[in-house]
Structure 1
């Protein structure tokens, strides 16, 4: 069973999302919160595989909660689910450690796929959000030369992460074990001094690898 914490301040929306998510037999909303502060309290008391956060919530918003959750519980995946199709919010979410950014008007099947992709190590951006975010990343003045210590295999993995593939999908495409892919990713993180797969994806985009 996949344990999900759902943080959404509107009760009707939260219950609707819970019903939508739990149409998948292995997904269970085992915790609910009305703001980021309550989400942190839930994480302190229970273990979750993924936290789904709205952005605008009272007391503590979803972006601030995402930063703290990512720092304290790095193995817990984070999906931002919001009404705001805004590249600034999406970029801040990714920098805060979110594994995905989806809009609340997404189809139920797309939301469930997004949850599974985040859990599998993928980077999830809804298409109309990605259309705004990608040019912003590419046009930033932070593009630098590729680190010369990166091997051809590592470069390929960076490219596939930037394209949004999960560890399982990368392993299948390169005919490697998932463990080997994870080892390569650990080495890349160390070489590039990055924090997580999301930062690798952003690195890939900024350096025109994808």
Structure 2
């Protein structure tokens, strides 16, 4: 069973999300919070697999909570679920370490696919949001060269991450084990001085690797 924390200040929305998520028998909502500060407190007490965060909430918003959670629990997956199809919000969320950015008009199947993608190490971005975010990421750093320390194998893995593939999918494409992919990713993070897979995906887009 995969455990999920929902962070949303509207009770009815939380209840609706819980019902949608638990249509998948492998997903269980075991925590709920009204704001980012409560979310951080719950993460200190419980071991979650994924946190679903709204952006605009009282006391502490989802963007700040994302930054704190990513720093303190780097293996915990984070999915932003919001009404805001906003380029600036999406960019900040991804830079803070979010594994996905979805809009609240998604249906249950889309939400569950996005949750599973994040849990498997993929990068899940709503199509409408991606159409705004990707050009911005590319334009932001067009002149930066690819780090010459990267090997061809590492570039192949960066390409897969930039395409939103999970470690297993990359392993299958490259005929390697998942453990080998994880080892390569650790080396890539160290070489590029990056924090997580999301930053690798952004690196791939900025440097025209994908």
TM-score by length of 1: 0.98
Aligned-partner Cα distance in 2 for 1:204–1:15: 37
- Cα 1:4–1:143 shift into 2, 3 Å: farther
Q: 1:182 maps to which residue?
A: 182
Task: Give the C-alpha shift of residue 143 in structure 1.
Answer: 3.8
* Long gaps (5+) in structure 2: none
CA RMSD of aligned residues (A): 0.8
Aligned-partner Cα distance in 1 for 2:50–2:142: 31
Q: 2:193 maps to which residue?
A: 193
Q: Secondary structure at the match of 1:139?
A: helix
Aligned-partner Cα distance in 2 for 1:143–1:190: 22
Aligned-partner Cα distance in 1 for 2:109–2:175: 28
Q: Is the 8 A contact 1:143 1:206 kept in 2?
A: no
For these two proteins, the number of residue pairs brought into alignment is 210
Give per-residue Cα distances to partners, 1:69-120, cap 9 Å, x unaligned. 1111111100000000011000000011100000000121111011111111
Q: Secondary structure at the match of 2:12?
A: helix
Aligned residue runs from structure 1 range 23-172, under 5 A: 23-141=23-141, 143-172=143-172
* Segments of 4+ moved more than 4 angstroms: none
Q: Is the 8 A contact 2:141 2:207 kept in 1?
A: no
Aligned-partner Cα distance in 1 for 2:202–2:134: 9
TM-score by length of 2: 0.98
Aligned-partner Cα distance in 2 for 1:175–1:87: 36
